[in-house]
Every structure is written in C-alpha cells, then in structure tokens.
C-alpha cells in the first residue's frame, strides 16, 4: 500500500511509531525493576547514646526499606537534611531512653518522614512503626517472662485482637505490577492517537487526500482501512512486545491464555485508532484535531482510575472515565489476567471496547467531504518569498 | 578613540532596538496563532483546574467492603458497626461465606473482605488472642492502603477496650497499664501531606510539567510554523535585516519569559490558594527557583525546535515524554533507587529538578540554601541550553543568509530547481550537526 512506502520514507514516522514506543517500554520496565524500593536514605538522631538506643538504630538500619546514612546530633540538623533531600526520614531516640525504659516511664520515640514522596513516605512509616512494635513486644516479653507468664498470655495482653492481612489475587505486592502494567498501555494510546490523527490529517493538509481517495476506489472505508492497517499491525506487535516484557521479564502473574491477551490488545489498538479517526473527522484541521487528541490522551492517566480510583471521583468524572478504552483494558487486565477471574466478569469491558469501534461511523461523512473538498486547509502565507529580491 | 566609543554605543543601541523589535514581534507571533495560544495559554489555564477537580477527594472514603461474620455474636456485630463507622470503610455486604464474599469481589461490588473468626467472642471472653483476617484488593495500591488504615484503626480500638476491661479487673491504674502495654511511645510525624492526599502528591508535579511541556511544545510549534511559512523551509526568515544570533535568542526568550512569568502567578499563586494546597514558599523562594527553570525550559525548547520540520511534529515527537517525566521527577519512585542511566537522563530535563525543588520549598518549607542543589542544576541547564540554542540559531541564521545570497545572485528558476535538490540535503546536515 501507499502508506507503507510513505511511512518508511520519513524519519518522523519511524521515530513516533517504533523508536519512541520501544524506548518508553524499556524505560518503564527498567525503572522499577526492584519491585519495592529498598534501602532508602534515612538519619538517626540518637540523643541517648546507650546500648539500647544503638541497638534500636541498628535494627532500623537492617529493615528492608531504610538505610541509615547519617548519624546526627540534633533534630534541627536532621530536619534540614530532610529538606535538602539527602534523607527521606529520620528517627529521634530521646535522652534517657534506656533509663526511662528501665523505670517504666515510657520514653517517646519520634519519627519524621517525607510524605511528599508517594511511595517512600508510607514505606518508611511502616518500617519505623514495625521496628518499634517489635522492640516493645520484646521488652514486654522479657518482663512477662520474668514474672512467669507464658508467651501466649503476654501476647494476648499486648494485642488482644490481631490483624492478619492477606493479599487477594496479587500475591506479589510490588510496584511494577501496579504501575508498569497500566502506564505502558497509557503510553501506547498516546502514540496510537497521535499517529492516527497525523497520518490522515497530513493528507488533508498537503492536499493529497483526493489522490488517496482515488487510489482506494473512492471509498472512505477502504481508504481508512488501507491507511491504518499497517499501523494496526505495528502497534499490535508493539503491544505484544510490551506484554512479553510484562509477563515474561517482569514476571507479572498471567492467569489468562495468550489468546485473550492478544484479543484485548487488538481491540485496544483498534479502539484508539477509531478515536483517532473520530478526532480528525470532527476537526479536519489537523492542528486542532491533534490538540484535541493530545488533550484527551494526556487525561487518560488521571481518569482511567489507575492513579486515583474513579469510584472516589465526582460523578462527572466517573462518567467521563468510561470514555477511555484504557480503562476497560485495565479492567480486563486486572480481573481476567492478573486475578484469573472467569471471562464473564470482564465481558462488559470487552463490549465497551467494541463500542469504540463504532465511533468512526459518526464522522465518516464529514471526513469524506473534508477529503474531497479539502475545505479545511489553513492558509499558509509565504511571508518572505520575495524578500531576497526586494 | 572617541569615534570608536561612539560606534560601540551605536552598535549596542541598535542591538538593543533590534532585540526589542524581535521581542515584540514574537508577541505578535504568539497572539495571532490560535494553535499556539491553545498550548501556551489555554492549556496552562485549564489543566490545573481539571486535575484539581479530578483529585479533589484527595483520599478514599467509604470504600465498600464485605464482612464474613462467622462469629455472629454481639461482639462481632459491634466490630462490624465500628468498621462501618470509619471514614475509610463502608460495610456494603454481609456475606454468609468466604465464597459468597469473593463473588461480590469479582463483581467489583466490594473492594476488600474482612473475616471475623467463629471463636471471636469466646476468645475475647477468655482473654485469648483473636485473629481478624483482612483480604485486600491488590489491584489498586490505594484500596489496599485504605483497607489497612480503616481495619487497623478499629482493631486497635477494640484491642484497647478489651485491655482496659481486663486491667480494671486486675485492679491496675490506667497509667500503669498503659506503660505495661506500650513500653515505648511512638510519635510519628509526617512532614508534608499529613493526610496523604493524592492531589497533594500529584499537583505540584503536574504544575511544573505543565509549564515545561507547554513551553517546549509551543516553541516547537512556532518553529515548525516558521519553517512552513518561510519560502525555503528555513527557521529564520530570509529578511533584509540581518538578524544577530544573540538578538534573536534573547528577543524571543524575553517574550516567552514574560508570558510564563504571568502564568506562574496563576499556576503557583492562584491555583494553590483556590484549592488549598501547601503554600510554604514565599515569592522570593519561588522566584529563585522559577527563574532558572523558565529560562532553561525556554532555551531547551529553542534548541529542540530545530528538529521540528512542521507545526505538527512537536506534538508527535514530544508530547509522550510527559508521562516518563512524571516518573523521572522522583516523586513516585524514590531517587535513591534509580539506576545511573535514568539519573543521567533525568538531568537532561529541567522539570526533574524543578519538581523536586518546588516540592521541597512549597511542602517542606525548605529555604533557598536547602534547595541550592536543584537551583544550581537549573542554572547549569540554563547556561548549557543557552549555548546550544545560540549555536542552533547561529547555524540557522547562516543558513538563511546563504540562501538569501543564492536568491540574489541566481535567476529565480534555476534556484528553484537547485534548491529542490539541495533542500533535503541541507536540512539533514543541519539537524545531524545539532544532535
């Protein structure tokens, strides 16, 4: 087809269709390869300087999330280090901590953590809390045992109700599973949208649309299919490469067959191509339709419910969220692939993806007239055409 | 000597006037192009409001959960009511069995399951430890966090009540009892974002990224448009007046800078006020950070702009960086856990340091000295990108001059043919030279 030749001829296409998508896939796969951030820098302000306080500092250092990089002498210093970004949190072990412990005077240990960082703050807080609890329990056990109580009796006194947390359907509590699996389709939709709008829009802009239409027997449908098919193939290959990275390299659990994954990926690509056609059909002036597609594509991250659950947003945004194929794709991924639920639970999402495919029908006549009459061409003023001769 | 001085003054004078002219002309370019206006004015005005509205709830409230109550006692019903009463959770379904609860979970009617064991009431009465199981939805990090927050609160409260009951029975005073149970008191203080609201995490990043991305896109679009309009596809017009590189770069930057300085008042002043975000940084601190940030973005944008051959390509080639840049800022994934490659890539984009610096100043209350690392990095970027922008424009000015000469010396038709052949060769040469 005409399009394939055109594609391979311009570096713009190669960059936007192959190079950049592959780079972003690699970027997101490698960024969070650790799974859970480990050994984040923290500081200890040890005002006690006794065996107990030093033991506690060591205990904090060996927790998975924290790594003591500084021993400071005052809270003020530590706060400044936190503000400068050298550390993400610190613990203050009070004066007389050991003595207070001996005499039952409940020393107060203070923790500070930088909660402006999304993951780091929460992890450090958990670490700090668990280390203190362990220490408290240890002290209690020692005391209770000296009084001749059984361990079980002590534990039920300290903690009458215990909470056991189980992770449902995603035993690997790590970040690539949350983040990479969703952010990659979100990236991909931007590429698909942009290139779809561009490859149709450029025909109108460069006034080659009549020639294009003629080549496809004056049928817009044939013309569009012919034009977009090469991209469908390329993006499907990219999606499969992405799936390969997610399930085989990052080892995200995969509980559905490859057939389902391929089907979902294909529908995803087609749905976004359909939206691309809708954009250019609605606003055949390319720069405006590109703006529209960009506006829509960028919002996908916020509105698909991945960063912040849609259910907690206001009703307007909940409705709006249905307009993003990536949301339905995410649903299929979470329910069918990650959790391994029966396909019936994701049927709604598949149907929604199909509905997007009907979008081009709404604008096809408008697009056809735009292709024929070319009445949406911006006037380019050649401002300096004769400047040299003047 | 005097003559020489006079000459210099005249040159400075003309240079100044020329810069001023370019500056004013750039306003004209900006404000007469709807596409540029949308990117440069409408997007920065609309996006922050939209994002703030989307993330307005900040935290999840009343997340639906199912309860599998195997105890069916007064104690377990009390426990369920307490769960329902938390801000975080809402008991949406009382399940008869775990299978029943999981079915609701699959249908997405509930986002977590709490199982109360059959021995719950008996354990409490006999002073044994009892186990509550919480099954969390691991699809969304925030759901997991919310379930834990709500359940552990209720569990601790119930635990405390039982303790008090037991200890009063044993005849101990409250203070003694507390000291016995908690040998160490914990005071945990979150610096910045005490409630862990999502908007507070995301909006500062969004603000900085909006500034950088719209600036670079707008500059790219204007450069692409310039190439389309100028007859020979050059970036710099083939004008009669010779345009100095410095005059061009400085004149254009001044126009962008003033527009964005005004936008910053809106983005960093009005928006946080309107939605009640942290505002610990004063004007002085913000100015110290934003000045190098805006300048480095402008020069970076001008450097990149030679790569864009038409007005659509910046959207195609640059828009997608927004999401990776969000992650490169170091707000989501901590910087201490970045691999070296990405730390280097991070330094290419002004937004990375600006986001970090802005959060430090605005939500932690860091001073200028405590943000010196970020500010220095931004000034270095400003310097480097100023040089590259000048270099790029120098090449472009020379290119325009050469074409100008060709047009003057050759009859028009032969030039047309010649250029048609040459144009592709020439443009490739310039871009690869820049890279």
pLDDT tens figures, A330-341:
888 888 887 778
Q: How far apart are CA A236 and CA A370, in angstroms?
A: 29
- Would the CB atoms of B188 and A334 count as touching at under 8 Å? no
Collect all residues of chain A within an 8 Å Cβ-Cβ radius of residue B184: 101, 106-109, 132, 135-136, 139
Distances (CA, A) of A164 to A339, B22, B133, B400: 21, 68, 5, 72
- Would the CB atoms of B187 and A187 count as touching at under 8 Å? no
First-to-last alpha carbon distance for chain A, in angstroms, is: 45
Average pLDDT over residues A237-252: 87
Angle between helices B245-264 and B372-409 (to 10 degrees): 140
> CB pairs below 8 Å between A and B: how many?
346
Of A288, A309, A335, the CB nearest to B142: A309
pTM for this model (two decimals): 0.83
Q: How far apart are CA B300 and CA B215, in angstroms?
A: 10
Q: Is any Cβ of chain B less than 8 angstroms from the Cβ of A159?
A: yes
pLDDT score for B413: 60
* Mean pLDDT over the full length of chain A: 81
The pLDDT tens digits for A348-388 are: 889 899 889 888 888 888 888 888 776 655 544 444 433 33
- Would the CB atoms of B193 and A121 count as touching at under 8 Å? yes
CB count in 10 Å sphere of residue B408: 10
**Phi, psi values for residue A88, rounded to 5°:** -105, -5
Chain B neighbours among A 76-115 (CB < 8 Å)? 79-80, 82-85, 88, 101, 104-115
- Would the CB atoms of A198 and B316 count as touching at under 8 Å? yes
pLDDT score for B180: 66
CB count in 10 Å sphere of residue B45: 14
Average pLDDT over residues B43-48: 90
Collect all residues of chain A within an 8 Å Cβ-Cβ radius of residue B334: 37, 40, 88, 117, 119-120
- On the question of pLDDT at B154 being above 60, the answer is yes
The pLDDT tens digits for B341-377 are: 888 888 999 999 999 899 888 888 888 888 889 999 9
Reduced to 3 states (helix: H, G, I; strand: E, B; else coil), residue B124 is helix
The pLDDT tens digits for B370-425 are: 888 999 999 999 999 999 998 988 888 888 777 777 766 655 566 566 666 665 55
**Phi, psi values for residue B401, rounded to 5°:** -60, -40
Q: What DSSP assignment string belongs to A310-333?
A: GGGS-HHHHHHHTT-HHHHHHHHI
Q: How far apart are CA A134 and CA A138, in angstroms?
A: 6
pLDDT score for B287: 92
The pLDDT tens digits for A201-214 are: 888 887 777 888 88
- Would the CB atoms of B194 and A115 count as touching at under 8 Å? yes
Q: How far apart are CA B125 and CA A161, in angstroms?
A: 12
Residue in chain B nearest A343 by alpha carbon: B106
Q: How far apart are CA B171 and CA B75, in angstroms?
A: 24
Of A82, A167, A302, the CB nearest to B364: A82
Of A160, A308, A384, the CB nearest to B237: A384
Instruction: Calculate how close chain B gets to A335, using CA atoms only, in Å.
Output: 7
* Mean pLDDT over the full length of chain B: 81
Segment (H or E) for B133: strand B130-137
Average pLDDT over residues A289-314: 82
pLDDT score for A6: 64
Q: How far apart are CA A163 and CA B134, in angstroms?
A: 7
Average pLDDT over residues B141-167: 79
Q: Is any Cβ of chain A less than 8 angstroms from the Cβ of B412?
A: yes
Average pLDDT over residues B79-84: 89
* C-alpha A204: how far from chain center: 35
The pLDDT tens digits for A87-123 are: 888 888 888 888 888 777 778 888 888 877 777 877 7
Beta-carbon contacts of residue A124 (< 8 Å; ≥ 6 apart)? A40, A42, A65, A66, A88, A89, A111, A113, A114
The pLDDT tens digits for A16-36 are: 788 888 988 888 888 877 777
Reduced to 3 states (helix: H, G, I; strand: E, B; else coil), residue A72 is strand
Q: Can you give A108-159 as a three-state secondary structure string?
A: EEEEEEECCCHHHHHHHHHHHHHHHHHHHHHHHHHHHHHCCCCHHHHHHHHC
Q: How far apart are CA B212 and CA B263, in angstroms?
A: 12
Segment (H or E) for A368: helix A359-373
Q: Is any Cβ of chain A less than 8 angstroms from the Cβ of B192?
A: yes
- Is the model more confident about A167 or about B379? B379
Instruction: Calculate how close chain B gets to A275, using CA atoms only, in Å.
Output: 16
pLDDT score for B381: 94
With beta carbons less than 8 A apart as the criterion, state whether A10 and B313 touch: no
pLDDT score for A171: 57
Collect all residues of chain A within an 8 Å Cβ-Cβ radius of residue B319: 190, 194, 294, 297-298
Residue in chain A nearest B50 by alpha carbon: A299
Average pLDDT over residues B223-240: 70
Q: Is any Cβ of chain B less than 8 angstroms from the Cβ of A247?
A: no
Domain locations in chain B as residue ranges: 2-54+197-434, 63-181
A115, A124, A332, A342: best to mutate for the B interface, most B CBs within 10 A:
A115
Collect all residues of chain B within an 8 Å Cβ-Cβ radius of residue A132: 184, 186
Chain A neighbours among B 352-391 (CB < 8 Å)? 356, 359-360, 363-367, 370-371, 373
pLDDT score for B291: 94
The pLDDT tens digits for B269-308 are: 888 888 888 788 888 889 999 999 999 999 999 999 888 8
Nearest to A16 by CA among A187, A184, A185, A191: A191
- Would the CB atoms of A163 and B198 count as touching at under 8 Å? no
The fold adopted by the segment(s) B63-181 is: abc type-2 transporter like fold (3.40.1710)
Strand-pairing partners, residue B326, are none
Strand-pairing partners, residue A294, are none
Give the model's confidence band at B431: pLDDT under 50 very low, under 70 low, under 90 confident, else very high: very low
- Would the CB atoms of A108 and B185 count as touching at under 8 Å? yes
The pLDDT tens digits for B94-124 are: 888 888 888 888 888 888 888 888 888 888 8
pLDDT score for A389: 32
- Would the CB atoms of A115 and B55 count as touching at under 8 Å? no
- On the question of pLDDT at A271 being above 90, the answer is yes
pLDDT score for B432: 40
Nearest to A261 by CA among A285, A244, A282: A244
pLDDT score for A382: 44
The pLDDT tens digits for B186-220 are: 777 777 666 667 778 888 889 999 999 999 999 99
Percent of chain B with pLDDT over 90: 15
What is the DSSP secondary structure assignment for residue B270, as one 8-state letter? I
Q: How far apart are CA B192 and CA B366, in angstroms?
A: 11
pLDDT score for A384: 40
- Would the CB atoms of B334 and A84 count as touching at under 8 Å? no
Give the model's confidence band at B239: pLDDT under 50 very low, under 70 low, under 90 confident, else very high: low
Give the model's confidence band at B320: pLDDT under 50 very low, under 70 low, under 90 confident, else very high: confident
- Would the CB atoms of B151 and A163 count as touching at under 8 Å? yes
Q: How far apart are CA B215 and CA B175, in angstroms?
A: 61
Q: Is any Cβ of chain B less than 8 angstroms from the Cβ of A130?
A: no
Q: How far apart are CA A169 and CA B137, in angstroms?
A: 8
Give the model's confidence band at B434: pLDDT under 50 very low, under 70 low, under 90 confident, else very high: very low
Q: Is any Cβ of chain A less than 8 angstroms from the Cβ of B139?
A: yes
What is the DSSP secondary structure assignment for residue A251, as one 8-state letter? -
Nearest to A255 by CA among A178, A341, A345, A344: A341
Of A12, A163, A187, the CB nearest to B323: A187
Q: How far apart are CA B393 and CA B299, in angstroms?
A: 11
Of A195, A291, A309, the CB nearest to B38: A291
pLDDT score for B23: 82
pLDDT score for B385: 94
Beta-carbon contacts of residue B173 (< 8 Å; ≥ 6 apart)? none
Residue in chain A nearest B231 by alpha carbon: A385
With beta carbons less than 8 A apart as the criterion, state whether B395 and B387 touch: no
- Would the CB atoms of A109 and B184 count as touching at under 8 Å? yes
- On the question of pLDDT at B428 being above 60, the answer is no
pLDDT score for A236: 93
Q: Is any Cβ of chain A less than 8 angstroms from the Cβ of B173?
A: no
With beta carbons less than 8 A apart as the criterion, state whether A377 and A205 touch: yes
The position carrying tokens 């001059």 is B401
Q: Is any Cβ of chain A less than 8 angstroms from the Cβ of B53?
A: yes
């Amino acid at each position: 087809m005409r399009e394939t030749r055109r594609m391979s001829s311009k570096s713009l296409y190669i960059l936007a269709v192959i190079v950049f998508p592959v780079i972003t896939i690699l970027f997101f796969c490698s960024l969070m390869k650790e799974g859970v951030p480990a050994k984040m820098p923290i500081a200890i302000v040890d005002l006690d300087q006794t065996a107990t306080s030093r033991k506690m500092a060591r205990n904090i250092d060996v927790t998975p999330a924290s790594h003591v990089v500084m021993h400071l002498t005052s809270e003020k210093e530590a706060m400044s280090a936190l503000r400068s970004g050298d550390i993400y949190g610190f613990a203050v072990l009070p004066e007389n901590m050991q003595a207070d412990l001996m005499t039952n005077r409940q020393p107060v240990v203070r923790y500070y953590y930088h909660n402006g960082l999304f993951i780091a703050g929460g992890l450090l807080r958990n670490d700090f809390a668990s280390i203190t609890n362990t220490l408290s329990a240890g002290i209690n056990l020692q005391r209770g045992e000296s009084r001749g109580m059984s361990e079980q009796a002590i534990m039920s006194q300290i903690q009458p109700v215990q909470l056991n947390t189980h992770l449902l359907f995603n035993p690997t509590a790590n970040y690539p599973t949350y983040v990479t699996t969703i952010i990659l389709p979100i990236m991909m939709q931007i590429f698909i949208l942009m290139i779809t709008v561009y490859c149709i829009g450029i025909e109108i802009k460069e006034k080659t649309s009549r020639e294009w239409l003629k080549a496809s027997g004056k049928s817009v449908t044939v013309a569009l299919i012919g034009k977009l098919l090469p991209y469908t193939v390329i993006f499907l290959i990219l999606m499969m490469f992405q799936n390969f990275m997610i399930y085989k390299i990052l080892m995200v659990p995969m509980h559905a067959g490859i057939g389902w994954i391929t089907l979902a990926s294909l529908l995803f690509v087609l749905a976004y191509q359909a939206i691309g056609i809708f954009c250019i059909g609605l606003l055949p002036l390319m720069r405006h339709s590109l703006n529209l597609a960009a506006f829509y594509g960028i919002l996908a991250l916020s509105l698909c419910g991945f960063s912040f659950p849609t259910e907690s947003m206001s009703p307007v945004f909940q409705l709006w969220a249905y307009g993003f194929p990536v949301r339905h794709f995410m649903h299929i991924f979470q329910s069918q692939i990650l959790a391994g639920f029966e396909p019936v639970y994701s049927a709604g999402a598949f149907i929604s993806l199909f509905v997007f495919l009907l979008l081009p029908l709404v604008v096809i006549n408008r697009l056809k007239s735009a292709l024929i009459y070319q009445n949406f061409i911006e006037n380019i003023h050649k401002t300096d055409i004769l400047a040299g001769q003047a | 000597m005097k003559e020489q001085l006079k000459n210099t003054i005249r040159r400075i004078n003309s240079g100044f006037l020329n810069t001023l002219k370019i500056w004013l002309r750039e306003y004209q370019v900006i404000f007469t192009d709807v596409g540029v206006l949308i990117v440069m004015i409408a997007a920065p005005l609309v996006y922050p409001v939209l994002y703030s509205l989307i993330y307005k709830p900040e935290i999840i409230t009343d997340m639906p959960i199912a309860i599998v109550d195997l105890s069916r006692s007064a104690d377990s019903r009390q426990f369920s009511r307490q769960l329902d009463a938390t801000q975080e959770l809402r008991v949406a379904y009382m399940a008869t069995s775990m299978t029943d609860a999981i079915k609701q979970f699959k249908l997405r009617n509930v986002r977590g399951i709490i199982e109360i064991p059959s021995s719950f009431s008996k354990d409490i009465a006999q002073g044994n430890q009892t186990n509550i199981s919480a099954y969390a939805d691991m699809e969304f990090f925030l759901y997991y966090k919310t379930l834990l927050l709500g359940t552990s609160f209720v569990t601790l409260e119930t635990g405390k009540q039982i303790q008090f009951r037991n200890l009063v029975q044993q005849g101990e005073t409250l203070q003694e009892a507390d000291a016995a149970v908690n040998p160490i008191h914990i005071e945990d203080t979150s610096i910045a974002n005490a409630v862990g609201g999502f908007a507070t995490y995301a909006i500062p990043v969004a603000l900085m990224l909006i500034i950088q991305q719209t600036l670079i896109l707008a500059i790219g679009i204007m450069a692409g448009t310039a190439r389309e309009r100028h007859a020979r596809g050059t970036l710099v017009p083939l004008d009669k007046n010779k345009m100095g590189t410095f005059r061009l770069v400085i004149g254009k930057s001044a126009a962008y800078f003033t527009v964005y300085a005004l936008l910053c008042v809106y983005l960093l002043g009005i928006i946080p006020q309107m939605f009640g975000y942290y505002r610990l940084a004063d004007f002085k601190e913000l100015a110290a950070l934003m000045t190098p940030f805006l300048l480095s973005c402008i020069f970076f944008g001008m450097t990149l702009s030679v790569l864009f051959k038409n007005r659509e390509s910046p959207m195609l080639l640059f828009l997608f960086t927004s999401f990776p840049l969000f992650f490169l800022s170091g707000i989501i994934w901590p910087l201490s856990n970045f691999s070296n490659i990405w730390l280097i890539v991070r330094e290419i984009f002004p937004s990375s340091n600006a986001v970090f610096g802005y959060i430090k100043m605005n939500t932690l209350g860091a001073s200028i000295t405590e943000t010196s690392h970020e500010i220095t990095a931004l000034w270095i970027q400003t310097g480097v990108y100023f040089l590259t922008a000048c270099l790029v424009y120098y090449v472009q000015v020379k290119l325009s001059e050469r074409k100008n000469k060709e047009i003057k010396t050759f009859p028009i038709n032969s030039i047309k043919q010649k250029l048609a052949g040459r144009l592709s060769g020439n443009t490739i040469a310039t871009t690869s030279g820049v890279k």
